[in-house]
């Protein structure tokens, strides 16, 4: 299916947010995710489905000042 991942068109076979992060080799323990503009708590990644056209943002925390 086609989704937008961080603004980039991406083809995926993942059915859940966890599966997408694994497929993209993203460590879920150190990122925050939003699905279609809504923050998704880390504990819900396994149960959060991805659909055709989903817009997913994966953000890494930044340090500095």
- Sequence-distant (≥ 6) Cβ neighbours of residue 14 within 8 angstroms: 20, 22, 23, 50
Which ranges in the chain belong to alpha helices (H)? 17-23
Report how many helices (DSSP H) and strands (DSSP E) the chain contains, helices first: 1, 5
Q: What single DSSP character describes residue 49? A: B
Q: Is residue 65 part of a domain?
A: no
At 18-50, the pLDDT tens digits run 999 999 999 998 899 999 999 999 999 999 999
Confidence band of 64 (pLDDT split at 50, 70, 90):
low
**More reliable by pLDDT, 65 or 37:** 37
Q: Is residue 10 part of a domain?
A: yes
**More reliable by pLDDT, 29 or 9:** 9
Q: Is residue 64 part of a domain?
A: no
Q: Is residue 12 part of a domain?
A: yes
Structural domain total, the chain: 1
CATH number for the domain that contains residue 8: 3.10.20.30
Is residue 48 within 8 A of residue 16, CB to CB? The reply is: yes
Domain of residue 17 covers 2-59
């Amino acid at each position: 299916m086609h989704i937008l991942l961080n603004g980039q068109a991406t083809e995926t076979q993942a059915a859940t947010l966890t599966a997408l992060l694994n497929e993209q080799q993203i460590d879920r323990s150190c990122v925050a995710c939003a699905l279609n503009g809504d923050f998704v708590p880390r504990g819900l990644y396994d149960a959060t489905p991805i659909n055709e056209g989903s817009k997913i943002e994966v953000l890494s925390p930044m340090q500095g000042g």
